[in-house]
Structures are given as C-alpha cells and as structure tokens.
Amino acid sequence: MQHRIIFSDIDGTLLNPERELSTFTISQIRRIKDSIPMVLISSRMPSAMTHLQEELDITNQPIICYNGALILVDNTPISSTAIPLQVLEALYHFNHDHKVHLSLYNTNDWYVPELDYWAKRESRNTKVNPLVKSTEEVIHEWKEQNKGAHKIMCMGDDRYIDNMYAFLDEKFGDTLHLYRSKSTYIEIAHKSVSKLTAIELLLDTHFNIPITKALAFGDNYNDIEMLKAVGTGVAVANAKIETKLVANAITLSGKEDGVALYIKNNIDLSC
C-alpha cells in the first residue's frame, strides 16, 4: 500500500465553508480509518480538534496541536514545547497600547484580555470559548506555575501586526517560528518544533512507519516543510502559491472537499 498513514491540516484544508466537516469528508475518512491512520495536525488547541476527531471516529489516534508544540497520545502529552515566558513579557511590554489582541494558549487553556472582535471571531471559527484574564495576570500565574505558552496568537490591523512581526523577528528570530497566516494574524510557536518535527516523532516512536509512506494535506506556509518531507504531499487548490510549488499533487479547495476527493480517487483498500 502506497499510503500507510495520513496527516491533515484543518483550517483552510479539511473544513467546508461553514468551517465544519462535510458528510463526504466524514464518509471518506471513516472508510479508510481502520486500515490507514488519520492524524489531525493543526495550530489549534486540543479541544478545538477533539470534536472533529469524534465526528470522524478517529479518537483513538494522536493529535498534533499548536503546529507541533504539543503532541497528545491517548489524551496524554508525549511532547510539549513552550515559548519562554520572557518572550511573552517582552511582547506584552511592546504592545503597551494594547492595539494588538494577544491570545495565550497552554494545553487546553486559552486566555484573552477581553471578549473583543478577535476573540469572538476565533471562538466562532474553532468552537471553543476563551477564558477572560489580563495578559499581566496570566504572566504572573505562569511564572508561579513554571509554564510558558504553547502558542501566542497576535491579531489586529495590518499596520500594527507589521510592526509586531518586525519586533519579534528582530528580537527573537532565533527562538520563534512566526507564521503570518493572514495579514492580520501572527501565530507564534517555539522555533524547535514544527508540523514536520511532530510527524517525525510520531512516526518513529508511535507508528513505526517510514515518512516515505506518509500522505499529508495542507494549504499554508506552516505546511510547506511537512508537504516537502512526506512521501506524498498534497496541497488544496486554495493553498498559498509557495505551498503548491512543493506539493506532489493539487486537489480541489478545502471548501470543495479536496481532501475527501483525493482520498476517494487515490486510496483503494482492495489493492
């Protein structure tokens, strides 16, 4: 069998226009799931992924969260890499005028300073409700608990996000992965982890499957490394140009069930 395992991004890749799983996608993944493991891999937090696992009937599989910063097997972390707290403190002070919304994530905790436009938008998209707490309070609590952020999400008007990106790149470019998924977003993770490092860890320690037998789907910049490394990397039609260029194949867009269509046309379990 050419494909022995599948990894799929979620947002922009797997979901329909309502940001839900279509009936077609659910049926195709359920068709192959007992023969080929399906692993969700995303910048999302765990609770924004597990409800999708339940719909797909793949709750027995690991999930890769926060672009690889947190890997769960049977709901237990096997790898956890946080952004150092001093980075968050520097970012908080740089954002002294609070013109950029800072969302802070650790495992299944998501903290926002207020339920503003950005928090409500992200909540609608992920079907998870945040906890309202000032960034200063979160920093204080995490210092006492010796915690850091698995992900920091910066959201705001383009010009403020441009300034924040330049600041982070100059001060912490050697420490952080900065994903500009949209002009109004920056997703921040630790530089030592990525979707690819998480895939490699799971393949080596949990599945014992060579990466050449892996199939992966993605759409954005943080999927490029993963799509290049696996045996078959597939970009959806709405993917960034740079992502399409490294892909082995291009399917229909995420909103047109591109992942499900590729699985239907290319995975025949009778072979």
Residue ranges of domains in the chain: 5-80+193-266, 85-190
Task: Say yes or no to pLDDT of 1 above 60.
Answer: no
Task: Say yes or no to pLDDT of 271 above 90.
Answer: no
What average pLDDT score do residues 132-138 get?
96
What average pLDDT score do residues 200-206 get?
97
Q: Chain-centre distance of CA 214, in angstroms?
A: 18
What average pLDDT score do residues 102-125 get?
95
Give the strand order in the sheet containing 76-80.
Answer: 76-80, 70-73, 63-65, 38-41, 5-8, 214-218, 232-236, 249-251
* The pLDDT of residue 236: 98
What average pLDDT score do residues 116-131 get?
93
* The pLDDT of residue 74: 95
Element counts in the chain: helices (H) and strands (E): 10, 14
* Cα 240 to Cα 92: distance, rounded to the nearest angstrom: 30
* The pLDDT of residue 13: 97
Q: Is the fold of 5-80+193-266 the same as that of 85-190?
A: no
Task: Say yes or no to pLDDT of 255 above 80.
Answer: yes
Residue 104 phi, psi dihedral angles, 5° rounding: -115, 130
* The pLDDT of residue 234: 98
Task: Say yes or no to pLDDT of 251 above 70.
Answer: yes
Task: Say yes or no to pLDDT of 160 above 60.
Answer: yes
85-190 adopts what CATH topology?
Answer: 3.30.1240
CATH of domain 5-80+193-266: 3.40.50.1000
* Cα 47 to Cα 37: distance, rounded to the nearest angstrom: 20
What average pLDDT score do residues 84-113 get?
95
Q: Indicate the pTM of the whole model.
A: 0.93
**What is the chain's mean pLDDT, rounded?**
95
